Amino acid sequence: MCERYDIDDKTRFLVLYFDAQMGNQEISKILNRNEATIRFWVKRIKKGEDIRNKKRVRRKKLITEETENKVIQMLRENPEASSTTKLAARIGISRNSITKILVKKGYKYKAIENTIEYSEEERMARMDFCKKMLCDEGKLIYRTFFSDEMGIDLNKNHKHKVWQTSNEKIRRKSVIENVKLNCWGAISAHGATSLDIYENGMNGERYKQVIKRRKAEMEQLYVDEDFYFVQDNHPAHKVSEEWIVKEQGLRLIKLPKRSPDLNIIENLWGALKERIKCDAPSNEKELRASLLNNWEVLTKGNRLEPFFEGLHRRYLECISKGGLKLPY
C-alpha cells in the first residue's frame, strides 16, 4: 500500500512512532530498517528536527598556502592567546584544520619555557656570587646554611596518576579541610635546622622569631667552626638584614635577586613535596605530621650529601653561561 502511493520510510516511521506509538524494535521490523537507524531518527525528532529534511553537508574549505601563512603569523604574534579555538574563529576554518596546519608546519603543543631574562647587572651579580662560593676550593659551600620558605596547599598536593590495573578504579583520598601551610628551613652540609611551620605569610617579625628559634640549632652543628647564612631577597628578609648581622651575629650572604636556582634548598623542597604527595594527607594534622616526618628523614645523616655534591658544578656552569638561569 505504502509503495503504491510512494510513501517514503521516514514518513511511515513518523506515523508508526507518533500515531501508532510503536517501539523502536517493532518499527524496525515493519520498515525493514536497522534498529540503529530508527534510534537515530528518534534522537533527531526529540531535538525538534524534521527527519524528512536532508541535512546540509558543509563542504570543507580548501586550505590554501595563504591561509596556512596567516595561521602561523597569528600564532607568532601572540603565542599565549592563540589557541586552536581562537585561531579557528578568526580564520574561519575548523579547529581540526588549524591543528593539521600546525602539525604540518612542525609545531607541537608543549609547555612554555619559564625562562628568566636577566639584566647585565643581574648576571654579573649571579656570577660574582658563584665565584665567591667557589673560592678556596669551595669551602664556603660546606660552611653555609641555605635557607628559604615553602608554601604547600593541601588541595593541590595530591598525585593525579597512579599505577593500577584496567579493572581497578583507585579513588583519591578526600580532603576534608581547605588548608594552606608555610614552612621555613635551613640546610647545610653538616645537617639542618628543624622545620618551622606557620599558617600566615612571612613578615619581618615572624622571620625574626624563626631565626631566634633556629639559631641555636645552627650553632650546635658548627660548634668549633664559623658558619655562614644565605637568604634571598624576600621583603621580610631584607628588612631583617641589619638585625641578623648586628644582633644575631650571623655571617650573612645575600642570594642574588631572582636566583632560586642558586639556592640548593629548592631541590629539597621538591623532594619534600613529592613525599607528601605519597602520604596523601587529608587534613591539617596529617599535613603537619607529614611535613615534619619527611623533613626529618630527608635531612638525616648523609641524606643531604647529594644536594651539595653537584653544587660546585652548578656554580661553575652558571659562570660559564654568563650568569644565565640554570635548570633545577
d(CA 157, CA 60): 45
pLDDT tens, residue by residue, 131-148: 999 998 889 999 999 999
Q: What is the pTM of this model?
A: 0.66
Would the pLDDT of 105 be above 80? yes
Average pLDDT over residues 88-113: 84
Both ends of the chain: CA-CA distance in Å?
80
Cβ pair 24, 39 in contact under 8 A: yes
Average pLDDT over residues 318-322: 95
Q: How confident is the model at residue 253, as a pLDDT?
A: 96
Q: How confident is the model at residue 59, as a pLDDT?
A: 60
Using the structure block, give the residue that is written with the C-alpha cell 595563504: 66
Average pLDDT over residues 44-53: 84
C-alpha cell at 101: 596546519
Q: How confident is the model at residue 162, as a pLDDT?
A: 47
Q: How confident is the model at residue 108, as a pLDDT?
A: 84
Architecture in CATH for domain 120-320: 2-Layer Sandwich (3.30)
Residue ranges of alpha helices (H) inside 184-327 are 204-221, 235-238, 241-246, 265-279, 284-298, 305-309, 311-320
pLDDT tens, residue by residue, 50-76: 888 776 656 656 788 888 888 888 888
> What are the domain boundaries of the chain?
1-57, 65-104, 120-320
Average pLDDT over residues 150-172: 64
pLDDT tens, residue by residue, 185-237: 999 999 999 999 998 889 999 999 999 999 999 999 999 889 999 999 999 99
C-alpha cell at 111: 609547555
Architecture in CATH for domain 1-57: Orthogonal Bundle (1.10)
Residue 268 neighbours by CB distance under 10 Å: 22
Average pLDDT over residues 178-183: 89
237-243 CB contacts, 8 Å cutoff, 24+ apart? 237/207, 239/204, 240/204, 240/207, 240/208, 240/211, 243/208
